[in-house]
Amino acid sequence: MKTIIIVILLVFIILLRNDGLTSKFSKRSYKKVKRYSKSSIDNFIAVCYETNTDDEHVQNLVKMFEKNNYNYKLIGNGEKWTSWYGRAIGYMSYLKTLPPDTYVLLCDGRDVLINENSKTFLNKALRLRQKNNNQIIIGTEPGCCTGNSSAPYKAYNIRPGEDFIGKYMKQQQDNAKSKNVTNNFYYINFGLIFGTANQLYNFIQILDIKPGLDDQALAHKIYYEHPDLLFLDHNHELFSNASHINFGRVIIKATDNLCYFKWDPSTNSFMNNVTNTHPSIIQTPGKNWNCYKYLIKKLLDEPLYYKSYNIKPPPVVQPPPVVQPPPPVNKFSNNLQLVKNDFNTTNLYKN
């Protein structure tokens, strides 16, 4: 009887101890799993809407995606381009196929360059989200706003001049200054966006974009009404943009103030000279092709780049020809010319 009681007590004690260990282990395991899921590349995809995936710039982007280990998806190939309305519909259709918590990068196709690998991008993006209430991250640029003066925004009660300048632009300027931003990257750029599939689907849905309208212009209105939805990357930590206010300017040099990036060999990536940050992705909108070429030459230094722009690759430096040493001269030769040559050298025969 005593033996039975002792055995029961021992089993009870073991169960209690195991429960405590299990509780502690579960807590640690959850934290580890949580950290792992935040940095998991398997739960992240880059999505680009492009009606012609054979375009040379799109192929460049694909090469950069693959070089930097991005999981990516090109959608819209072969479809008729119906402007930003068609792209918004395409995005929404694809986002619905993903698990709601999938991390998604929505990006333009023909003027986007990858500056950092997918792991660096995702870790940086998630840190920014954690600091900013898990908001959607959207890029910024110095020029506002595309399509705001010609498209029919009456249905949205938008007065193109007064509302964009007096309300939307001022709000974004004030927002940047309140965060001690010292650059002029104030305004929303719809070409680079990061969030979960569910967030991005809902965001595009509330844009309520109609044919002929501009998603970027509508995003200004939504941000004015719901500033808690978006985090504007004013300091270009994740997304950078080589846009400029005067799109018609002829670029004389690729390294002028319309292409404010410098190669940093210590990180093997470009640094934004204005913000002193290393953005993961850079966009060169407004047909800023000189800047694009300047950047891609470092980011994608392979034959495809030279083929795309009809630029001759750097000449292959041939090794210098091997010079065979002259045959040894017979110091006792009867040939007078050889004797003369021999005495004109420093290698004189010595006894």
Window from 37-41, 260-264, 274-278, 331-335 with minimum mean pLDDT: 331-335
Q: Which residue has the higher pLDDT, 348 or 163?
A: 163
Could you please report the per-residue DSSP string of 67-123? HTT--EEEE-TTSPP-HHHHHHHHHHHHHTTS-TT-EEEEE-SSSEEE-S-HHHHHH
- What's the pLDDT score for residue 61? 95
Q: Which residue has the higher pLDDT, 283 or 10?
A: 283
Cα distance between residue 319 and residue 13, in whole Å = 79
- What's the pLDDT score for residue 337? 44
Per DSSP, 277 falls in state B
- What's the length of the chain? 351
What are the residues whose beta carbons fall under 8 Å from the beta carbon of 99, sequence distance 6 or more? 197
- What's the pLDDT score for residue 259? 85
CA distances from 99 to 43, 161, 197, 346 (A): 9, 40, 7, 83
- What's the pLDDT score for residue 341? 43
Distance of alpha carbon 201 from the chain centroid: 21
Q: Which pairing describes strands 187-196 and 136-141: parallel, antiparallel, or unpaired?
A: antiparallel
37-245+279-288: CATH topology: Spore Coat Polysaccharide Biosynthesis Protein SpsA; Chain A (3.90.550)
- What's the pLDDT score for residue 103? 97
pLDDT in tens, 113-149: 999 999 999 999 999 999 999 999 999 988 776 654 4
Is residue 1 predicted with pLDDT exceeding 80?
no
Q: Per-domain residue ranges for the chain? A: 37-245+279-288
Identify the band that residue 6 occupies on the pLDDT scale cut at 50, 70 and 90.
Answer: low
Cα distance between residue 332 and residue 176, in whole Å = 90
pLDDT in tens, 227-269: 899 999 999 999 998 876 544 444 444 444 568 899 999 999 9
| Angle ∠(240,244,250) on CA atoms, nearest 5 | 125
Cα distance between residue 135 and residue 223, in whole Å = 12
Helices (H), the chain: 2-38, 56-67, 83-95, 118-131, 160-163, 170-178, 197-207, 215-225, 289-299, 303-308, 336-343
Identify the band that residue 305 occupies on the pLDDT scale cut at 50, 70 and 90.
Answer: very low
